[in-house]
Structure 1
Amino acid sequence: MKATYDDIVDVQHIASFDSNEKMGEILALGQAAGSLPAAQEARRTLLLAIDVQNDFMEGIGSLAVPGSRADVQRLTQWMYRNLNALSQVICSLDCHAIMQIFHPAWWLDQDNKHPDPFTIITYEAVARGMWRAANGETDRSLEYLFNLESSGKKQLCIWPYHCLEGTAGAKLESEFTKMLYFHAAARRVTPKLVYKGQDPYSEMYGIIQAEYDRDGFVNQEVLDAIREYDAIYIAGQASSHCVLASAEQILAHYESDRSVTSRITLLEDCMSPIGGFEESTKHQFNRLRERYGIQIRKSTEILL
């Protein structure tokens, strides 16, 4: 008998550290699903799941995104409905240390106090001595701020400590993880996990590259993978930051190839913005649709 959605996902335990993943049972259900292995299908479909991690989940996360719990429910329902047409899932995961340029520990003010979360730190403020790097890397920090501001990127925001490597907050949300591995077992694929944000001197909202880094790293492997799929669906958290940056970076890379950009769909009901960014996020997504021909749709409208 085919496993039901409720056999896999416990909706009451979405965004809960109490969830029991029972991964062996989940894998057995997937193996018994009778689905065609993804490698044998002609049409290939990708889900790009951005930062579906505990620290972004409302109720438990240190950087909780309002609406994220319902987003996970809708996303896992979409994955279940489209099990036999969804070929692969690539997941990005924020992965940070305490001492990173966007965490409070990096900075000290003139009274040797760390900034509060959500403080904005500018090049001018650091150049005037209002802030300095606690580790002595003030010049390197100024280099980052200069390049960030001169290229029109987001201002440096001090975020609450989040997705610290090895912590429960850095893990994929557990009910999403169940559906991820149910799908993997059913379609005989290995989901790809892409870690990002480990450079202490930079922010990395998008899956492809940092806001600025000296080496100009680009995740070409992910870009190349995207080209291989006939349809690409993007979901995750937060739509205002990491989802938006990921979409912008992918679309900028393929801006001269409408055959790729037109394959991309944002699942707008499977992502939510950080509070205060609702209207700007909607505006920026609409701009991407007009420029690159992407689609913006609700998951409930899409049956693959």
Structure 2
Amino acid sequence: MTPRNIFLRKNTRFSIAGATLALPLALAGCTSATTSAPETTPATAPAATSQHVHGIYVDQVSSKVLLATHEGLYDATSKTPVKVSTDTIDLMGFTPTADPEVFYGSGHPGPGSALPNPVGLIRSTDAGKTWERLSRQGKSDFHALSATDHGLVAFDGKLSTSADGITWEKSSASFSPAVLAGNPATSVVLATTQQGLQRSINSGKTWGAVPDAPLMQFVAFAPSPEKAPTDAVGIAPDGSVHISTDAGLTWTPTGRVESEVQALTALAGDSCKPAIWVSTATGVQSSSDGGATFGPATP
């Protein structure tokens, strides 16, 4: 397969109506172990709608599947994907938190939205139905955005961190990340760049290159309900999948995604192998064997 142009991100489209998901994958770990949303009728995605997908999220408790798209946030758990947000926002940046009701986002307002362009950092406290302004309105479009145990890490042309989503501190890092991957349970953050994988152990304040790591375009931690994640999944520009069991320090190849990847998420799965979901140019695919094989995530 011809290698893809690295970091030519999320420009292909697929029908969101074809992104219905079945979630038979077990999500257990390897060891035993405030604004109210208005009452509205959710809009379903018409069959002809095609979307840029900027992010994919699977709740580790409820198995709810969300797609952050060019036209807003969609719940793709059931057969017919349903638009979640009452406002149309191009969610270029999207990240969950430890609270399944709280998300952060960034990007551009859509038709009918009263948000400024760019929207800066916005937050939802009702699982994506409504969004409130926090900071950087009219100034920042955070294309890369992630949460850690100390706040947020974001990139709008400059890498920055924030403990509260309001006050931002610029990082001394000079690289441009395609993807930032953190987790609310840990201070480790991974960043994919054209020069190679970068890693932070202090929630994005300082960074260092990961020696011998494969060149990857997408990366995500695979959290479990029991502990802070040490498993991570990475996907290279050619679609090859790599797994790390030590929070991104070393990587092992496992398989390949045969369609152009737009977004990646993962959870702890059976037999110490992460469960993986990818949004691709042809729809959503999933793997229950740590990326060795993928198949359409259809009922």
TM value normalised by structure 1: 0.24
Which structure has more relative contact order (CA 8 Å, sep 6+)? It is 1
Q: Highest Rg: 1 or 2?
A: 1
Q: In proportion to residue count, which structure has more helix? A: 1
Which structure has more strand as a fraction of its residues? 2
